[in-house]
Chains A and B, each alone.
Chain A
C-alpha cells in the first residue's frame, strides 16, 4: 500500500496547521489520561478518606507536641502553621511517590498495553500520569486546608494564593509521580518497588524544610536539602498558604526549579515507559 500518493502540498499554511493539530492532540491525549483518573476517583472516593488519615495524625499528634517546643519555627510563625504547609507537601508526596505501583499494576493487568499501542506520544502518556497524580494531590490539599482551619492555623484564603498553592501541588505531585514512574520502569515488580518507595520517602521528607527549618540542620544536610525539590515546593506552600508566610528563595525560582525538574523527568520517563511493555 503506497502512502505517497496522498495530495502533497507542503505550503507554510499546512505546515503550521499540522503543528497546531499535533499540539492540540497532544493536549487531548494528556488530558485523556488525567480525566480517566478523575473518573476513577469519582467511582471510588473512599480512597480519598483513607488518605486523609495520615495528615490528620501528623498535625494532631506530632504538631501539637512539637508546638510546645520553643524556637523550632523561625520568626514569629506558630509551629502548627509552619508544619501545616510541610504536611500538605508531605501528603501529596506520599501519594505521588507510590504512583509507580499503579503503573506496574496496569502493566501486570494488560491495561498498559492499551496505552502503548495507541498513537499517543509516550511523553503525553507520562505527562497525563503526572497530571493524574496532581489531581490526587489536590484532593489532599482540600483535606489539609479543612483540617488546618479547624486547628486554628492562620490560613490565607485569598483565591489567588489558593490558585498558586494548587499549581505548586500539581507541579510537585507530577514531579514525584514521574520519578516514581521511572523507578517503576526499572524495577518492574511491585515487591521491589515497595522496598524502594519506603527507602525514598524518608530522606525526601526529612532532608527538606517540611517539618523543621533548614537553619537547624548541619551543613551537609542543608546542602542535601537544597538539592531536594520538596524544599522548593514547601517554600511555595509556606509563602502562599499562610497569612504570615514568606518565601525563602522567591516564588519564581521555586516554580522554575520544579517545572524544569519535572520537564527533565518527563523526558526520561517517556523514553523508559515504552520498555514497560516488553
Chain B
C-alpha cells in the first residue's frame, strides 16, 4: 500500500505484516494478509465472526505459529524472535484471563513476576497501575467477585505492567455495559495520548471503532477487504454511509451455516460475554 509506506517513513513501525497465512487443515483462516501499524496508532480490526481476526492476533502474539508469511512486532520477528516479541507486547484475550481464585493484587503480582519486573519496583508499579484503573479499593478482593468491567480493567492493567510497546485487545468491550465500555476506551485512548502506545483492537461495535480507532482494517474470509481511516472506508460506500454500511456492503454474503464462525467460536464468544457481563 503506497500511502501506508509514505507515512511509515515519518514514524516508527510497530507492526509489519507481510503475506501472513494460517491454515487449519483445509481451511485458510488467515490468507496472505499484509498491513503496517505505526507507533502510537489505535488500529481497529473488524470483520464477521470467523473472519480470521482472532487467528491473526494469536499469530502476532506468538500463541500460534503462521503457516507461511512473516510479521514483525515491535521490531522482532514473530517466529524467530518470539520470546523478544512476548517481552514487548501486552495481550488482553477475549476470554477471561485474570484468575478468579486470586485477588486483583495477586493477579498483578503474578504478571509482574512472569514479566521480570524488578523486585524493588514491583509493589509501586502494581499499586500505581491498580489506582490508574480505579481498582485500589478492590485490590485485595477475589477477582471472582469483580464485575465484568472491573475484570477487563484489571486485565488491561496486568498486560501493561511491563510497559509493552504494542498492546493487543481482543474484543475488550464484549459483554460490558455502556458505562464500563466507555471507561475501557478512555484508558485505551489515554494510553495512546500519554505514552504513545500502539494498540490493535478487535470489536463488533462499529460505533466504538469509528470513534476511537485511527485506522481500521476490515477482514473477511481471512483477507483484508478494506483498510484506512473510518472516513476513507465510509467514502468507499457512498455519501452518508455508516461503518455498519461498510461492513454489510463489503463483507461477502455467506451461507447460513458458515456465518457465526462455528460452534466453538460462538460458544467462546458467549462465554466471554457471560464471564465479563
Q: Is the CB of A1 within 8 A of B110?
A: no
Interface size class of A (residues with CB under 8 A): 20 to 34
Residues of A within 8 A of B93 (CB): 110, 113-114
Cβ A39 vs Cβ B116 within 8 A: no
Assuming the contacts A3-B76, A117-B62, asked whether A32 and B110 have C-beta atoms less than 8 A apart, the reply is: yes
| Cα(A128)–Cα(B276), bound, Å | 28
Interface size of B in residues (CB-CB distance below 8 Å): 38
Knowing A36-B102, A39-B102 are in contact, say whether A31-B96 is a contact too (CB < 8 A): no
Q: When A1-B12, A43-B101 are in contact, do A115 and B114 touch as well, CB less than 8 Å?
A: yes
The answer to the question of A29 belonging to the interface, with a C-beta cut-off of 8 Å to chain B, is yes
Instruction: List residues of B (52-102) whose CB comes within 8 Å of A's CBs.
Output: 58, 61-64, 74-76, 83, 86-87, 89, 91, 93-99, 101-102
Chain A residues lying within 8 Å of B62, measured Cβ to Cβ, are 117
Q: Is B132 an interface residue (CB 8 A)?
A: no
B95/A28 in contact, CB under 8 A:
no
In contact, A43 and B102 (Cβ under 8 angstroms): yes
CB-CB nearest in chain B for A28? B113
B142 at the interface (CB under 8 A from A): yes
Q: How far is the CB of A48 from chain B (nearest CB, A)?
A: 14
* Complex interface residues of chain B between 111 and 147 (CB less than 8 A to chain A): 111, 113-116, 142
Instruction: Assess whether B13 is in contact with A1, with CB atoms less than 8 Å apart.
Output: yes
Q: C-beta contact mask, B24-67 vs A, less than 8 Å → 1, else 0? A: 00000000000000000000000000000000001001111000
In the assembled complex, B202 has its CB within 8 A of some CB on chain A:
no
- A277 to chain B: which residues have CB within 8 Å? 58, 63-64
Task: Determine whether the beta carbon of A118 is less than 8 Å from that of B75.
Answer: no
Contact of B94 with A110 in the complex, beta carbons under 8 Å: yes
A28–B158 contact, CB under 8 A?
no
Complex interface: chain A residues within 8 A of B13 (CB): 1
Chain B's closest residue to A36 (CB) is: B110
A45-71 vs B, Cβ < 8 Å mask (1 yes, 0 no): 000000000000000000000000000
Q: Is the CB of B97 within 8 A of A118?
A: no
Task: Mark B251-277 against chain A: 1 for CB-CB distance below 8 A, else 0.
Answer: 000000000000000000000100100
Q: Smallest Cβ distance from B97 to chain A, in angstroms?
A: 4
A186 at interface (Cβ–Cβ under 8 A)?
no
Contact across chains for A43 and B110 when beta carbons are under 8 A apart: no
Contact of B63 among A25, A109, A111, A116 (CB under 8 A): A116
Is B106 in the interface zone, CB < 8 Å from A? yes
Query: When the two chains form their complex, are residues B91 and A113 in contact, meaning their CB atoms are under 8 A apart?
Result: yes
What number of residue pairs across chains A and B have CB atoms under 8 A from each other? 89
Report Cα–Cα, A72/B12, bound state, in Å: 75
Q: How far is the CB of A193 from chain B (nearest CB, A)?
A: 18
With contact pairs A3-B76, A43-B142 given, residues A113 and B95 touching in the complex (Cβ less than 8 Å): yes
A109-B96, A110-B95 given; A40·B114 CB < 8 A: no
Question: Per-residue 0/1 for A61-87: is the Cβ within 8 Å of any B Cβ (1 yes, 0 no)?
Answer: 000000000000000000000000000
B89 touches A117 (CB 8 A): yes
Chain A, 91-126, CB within 8 A of any chain B CB? 109-111, 113-121
Q: Which of B146-164 contact A (CB under 8 A)?
A: 158
Is the pair B102, A25 in contact by a Cβ cutoff of 8 Å?
Answer: no
A117, B102: Cβ atoms closer than 8 Å: no
| Known contacts A36-B99, A113-B91, A113-B95; A118/B115 CB under 8 A | yes
Could you say which of B86, B91, B113 contacts A29, with CB atoms under 8 Å apart? Answer: B113
List the A side residues contacting B94 at CB < 8 Å: 110
Mask: chain A, 17-43; 1 = CB below 8 Å from B; 0 = not: 000000001001101110110011001
Task: Decide yes or no whether A278 CB sits under 8 A from chain B.
Answer: yes
A110 touches B102 (CB 8 A): no
Which chain B positions have C-beta within 8 A of A44?
101
Q: Chain B residues with Cβ under 8 A from A109's Cβ?
A: 95-97, 275
A278 and B74 CA atoms in complex are apart in Å by: 23
A11 close to chain B: CB less than 8 A: no
The answer to whether A113 and B86 have CB atoms under 8 Å apart is: no
Interchain CA distance A39-B113 in the complex, whole Å? 14
Given the contacts A1-B13, A43-B101, A110-B97, A119 and B142 also touching, CB distance less than 8 Å = no
**Contacting residues, chain B, for A121 (C-beta < 8 A):** 83
A24 nearest CB neighbor, chain B only: B116
Closest to B158 in A: A114
CA distance A219 to B189 in the complex (A): 71
Q: B16: nearest residue on chain A (CB-CB)?
A: A1
Task: Let me know if A2 is at the binding interface, CB within 8 A.
Answer: yes
Contacts of B111 in A (CB 8 A): 114, 118
Known contacts A29-B113, A44-B101; 9 additional CB pairs below 8 A are A1-B13, A25-B116, A29-B114, A43-B101, A110-B96, A114-B93, A117-B91, A119-B87, A119-B116
Closest 10 CB pairs of A and B: A110-B95, A32-B113, A1-B75, A118-B114, A119-B87, A114-B97, A119-B86, A277-B63, A117-B91, A113-B93
Interface residues of B (CB under 8 A from A): 12-14, 58, 61-64, 74-76, 83, 86-87, 89, 91, 93-99, 101-103, 106, 109-111, 113-116, 142, 158, 272, 275
